[in-house]
Amino acid sequence: MNINLNESDEYKDLRKIVQNGFGINRDKIFNTEEPYKLIDKEQKNKGLKIDEHIDNSKNAPEWFNKISNEYILLDMFGYQEDNVNTKKGRKETFRNTTEDAFHASFASTCNFYVLNDNKSYKKTKKIFEKLSIKTIVLKPAEFVDYYNNYLDIKELTSNIPLVLEIIKKFKFHESEENFGKLRTYITPYYLFDIFTKVVIIIDKDQSKPFILLSHDNYENQITYVIEIIKLVDDLNQLFGNDVENFGKAELEEFHAEKWKGRKWIQNEITYRLIINDKHIQLYLDY
């Protein structure tokens, strides 16, 4: 069966069986804005959830299985379904759909997923939205616009003023904590090429708040040591050498149980770079 799906056009027949079995109109679902609403309705009518009957691969992480299965099922139900054609030109079979599903899964560990395949683009956006995956899915032209608007920060000195601009102009979410208040700003910018979240911490026992820069992380995203080493280089370039005179970050530092971090003082502001619960954070203490 696996060989036939990947080498012939039998996936087309399997897809028809699934769609007919659930009473799904392929023409209705193909370009709908809410494919999951239609799919959930038909599964509820049939008293069956197809994903409960999937035997996940034991050789892949749970998140990888979840995303790739969602992708294949969305195609199988007919939303932006792939072409199946083995008669002429490039062979299009179930293999193409599974490869695109794996690409979407791997992309979930990244900040951006840039692709030019319209069907894969639409399926991936719906899946990431459903699973609250924060990877930004863009076509090449969209990424160029995003880069020009938010990523092309040419000067290191522009990052700190940009933090203050975000605080002035962006909407925030405020929460009450035991120690005081948190105001959180999620930004499209990547401050110092890494930080997408600005948090103002207002301690009720302090007269002045302090600012925290971090990343709007999710479960399967990783911050790499090479990124932190570059960040330390950038901050040394901007603020001069750190207070403890540790200087350039070396790979061996990260073998320790707790990274020693860095601290700079400039214009009566203390900048502290730490790793907290595996997340890189920069504190601005006024």
Assess whether 196 and 129 both reside in one domain.
no
Q: Please report the pLDDT score of residue 205 as a whole number.
A: 74
Q: What value does the mean pLDDT take over residues 120-148?
A: 96
Assess whether 33 and 106 both reside in one domain.
yes
What is the pLDDT confidence band of residue 52, given thresholds at 50, 70 and 90? low
Domain-ending residue, one of 123, 145, 167: 145
Strand partners, 184: 173, 199
Segment (H or E) for 26:
helix 26-29
More confident of the two residues 50 and 73: 73
Assess whether 140 and 166 both reside in one domain.
no
Share of the chain above pLDDT 90, in %: 65
Asked if pLDDT for residue 135 goes beyond 90, the answer is: yes
**Total of domains in the chain:** 2
Encoded amino acid at 91, one letter: K
Assess whether 104 and 132 both reside in one domain.
yes
What is the pLDDT confidence band of residue 133, given thresholds at 50, 70 and 90? very high
Joined together, the tokens standing for residue 276 give: 């907290």
Quick check: helix, strand or coil at residue 210? Answer: strand
141 falls within a domain: yes
Domain-ending residue, one of 119, 145, 171: 145
Q: What value does the mean pLDDT take over residues 127-133?
A: 94
Assess whether 162 and 281 both reside in one domain.
yes
Q: Please report the pLDDT score of residue 129 as a whole number.
A: 95
Domain-ending residue, one of 145, 168, 199: 145
CA distance 27 to 253: 57
Assess whether 116 and 68 both reside in one domain.
yes
What is the pLDDT confidence band of residue 237, given thresholds at 50, 70 and 90? very high
Assess whether 132 and 204 both reside in one domain.
no
Taking the CA atoms of the chain, what radius of gyration do you get in angstroms? 24
Asked if pLDDT for residue 208 goes beyond 80, the answer is: no
Asked if pLDDT for residue 57 goes beyond 90, the answer is: no
150 falls within a domain: no
Joined together, the tokens standing for residue 268 give: 């009566």
98 within 8 A of 68, measured Cβ to Cβ: yes
52 falls within a domain: yes
CA distance 271 to 56: 46
Q: What value does the mean pLDDT take over residues 203-219?
A: 80
151 falls within a domain: no
20 falls within a domain: yes
Spell out the residues 6+ positions from residue 253 whose beta carbon is closer than 8 angstroms to its own. Answer: 259, 260
What is the pLDDT confidence band of residue 142, given thresholds at 50, 70 and 90? very high
Mean pLDDT of the chain: 90
Asked if pLDDT for residue 218 goes beyond 70, the answer is: no
More confident of the two residues 121 and 61: 121
217 falls within a domain: yes
Q: What are phi and psi of 117, to 5 degrees?
A: -85, 110
What is the pLDDT confidence band of residue 33, given thresholds at 50, 70 and 90? very high
Assess whether 115 and 60 both reside in one domain.
yes
Q: What are phi and psi of 104, to 5 degrees?
A: -60, -40
Assess whether 215 and 194 both reside in one domain.
yes
CA distance 221 to 185: 20
Q: Please report the pLDDT score of residue 207 as a whole number.
A: 66
Assess whether 128 and 172 both reside in one domain.
no
Assess whether 166 and 254 both reside in one domain.
yes
Number of neighbours of residue 24 by Cβ within 10 angstroms: 20
Asked if pLDDT for residue 189 goes beyond 80, the answer is: yes
Q: Please report the pLDDT score of residue 10 as a whole number.
A: 86
Q: Please report the pLDDT score of residue 48 as a whole number.
A: 75
Asked if pLDDT for residue 51 goes beyond 80, the answer is: no
Assess whether 115 and 166 both reside in one domain.
no
More confident of the two residues 121 and 175: 121
Domain carrying residue 70? 2-145
Q: Please report the pLDDT score of residue 8 as a whole number.
A: 83
Asked if pLDDT for residue 219 goes beyond 70, the answer is: no
Q: At what angle do helices 62-77 and 118-130 cross, to 10 degrees?
A: 120
Asked if pLDDT for residue 83 goes beyond 80, the answer is: yes
What is the pLDDT confidence band of residue 59, given thresholds at 50, 70 and 90? confident
